[in-house]
Amino acid sequence: MEKSRIENIIDTLEREYPSAACSLDYSKDYELLFATRLAAQCTDERVNKITPVLYSRYPTLESIAGADTEEIEKIVHSCGFFRSKARDIVLSAQMLISEYGGTVPDNMDDLLKLPGVGRKTANIILGDVYRKPAVVVDTHCIRLSNRLGLVRTKDPEKIEFELRDLLPPEKSADFCHRLVYHGRAVCTARGPKCAECPLLEYCPRII
């Protein structure tokens, strides 16, 4: 990978999508943690409709930790996999209080100890809450990083570490958010709009 090409890809995405932010709504660190858990195999748009209901019914971490899991299930039912998601949210709330003083951890090892938290969720927390270098590998990142020739694998963990080697650490989290924007708007899974893609000259699918 030529350094100039990855720099041009980063610069182009920054121009096209100057506002790089997670599309999940939240105001507290644990709200992003739980929203990300709910977003597994569910759209961010749907999650953003559900979380206000969840947090109005359970406005504090302590109230979530003490909630009846079946009541949480009713609220998050439309997100899919509602039983496991509700269980993980309640157990994570309890663990955050008992083990971490009510604060979401700021390191990968501790984040991965929380129920239902994998590397993708942990990287979202590290990048968006703590502004640490992070590579969030979602479906858009997998698709676009392969199409752009940045990686040649569909394995999320391999993609994460390969992109860490390619990207400037301070830009890695925002880069992944911009891939989501670009993947939704232009480089879609089906019928990508190559003719109007600002990354066309850097895409090995075309050149």
Residue 107: which residues within 8 A CB-CB, separation 6 or more?
Answer: 126
Residue 67: which residues within 8 A CB-CB, separation 6 or more?
Answer: 58, 90, 93
Structure tokens at 152: 């040649």
Catalytic residues: 120, 138
Sole residue written with tokens 């994460």:
160
Phi/psi class of residue 116: alpha, beta or left (left: φ > 0; alpha: ψ in -120 to 50)?
A: left
Structure tokens at 178: 């911009």
Instruction: Kindly tell me the burial class for residue 97, based on how many C-beta atoms sit within 10 Å of its own C-beta (0-12, 13-18, 19 or more).
Output: middle
Sign of the CA dihedral with 146 first, then 120, 69, and 63 last: negative
Structure tokens at 183: 């993947």
Structure tokens at 109: 């090892």
In the three-class reduction of DSSP (H, G, I as helix; E, B as strand; rest coil), residue 87 is classed as helix
